[in-house]
């Protein structure tokens, strides 16, 4: 492992240690987004009665990696895109596009405008 790789590895370990070993919410910046925000635990729940497309990252050109089952889910973040796409980040750090199905929100889940 080179010096740069070692530095990056230990920086990640240090960051995770400082965060208590939990998962960090990463809300992508820039690009085609209108706005993004993250949520505290228990702050936002989204329900939908149809399958939704699942993505590794939000984006109008992103390729789905699978389908999410209907249900009620706690979300970590939301990202609104130009052109109307609305993506919520699941607790597993995947993104679901909800503007293509009928959905409801509970809590403070509003996407930035």
Give per-residue pLDDT as tens, 20-54.
333 334 444 444 557 899 999 999 999 999 999 99
What CATH class is the domain 25-107?
mainly beta
Distance CA 84, CA 100 (A): 10
Q: What is the mean pLDDT of residues 61-71?
A: 95
Q: What is the pLDDT of residue 46?
A: 97
- For residue 3, give both structure tokens: 């010096």
């Amino acid at each position: 492992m080179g010096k740069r790789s070692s530095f990056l590895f230990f920086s990640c370990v240090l960051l995770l240690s400082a965060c208590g070993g939990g998962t960090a919410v990463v809300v992508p910046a820039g690009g085609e987004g209108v706005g993004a925000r993250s949520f505290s635990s228990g702050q936002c729940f989204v329900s939908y009665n149809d399958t939704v497309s699942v993505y590794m990252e939000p984006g109008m050109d992103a390729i789905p990696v699978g389908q999410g089952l209907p249900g009620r889910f706690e979300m970590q973040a939301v990202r609104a895109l130009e052109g109307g796409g609305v993506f919520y980040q699941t607790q597993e750090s995947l993104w679901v596009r909800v503007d293509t199905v009928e959905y409801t929100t509970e809590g403070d889940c509003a996407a930035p405008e």
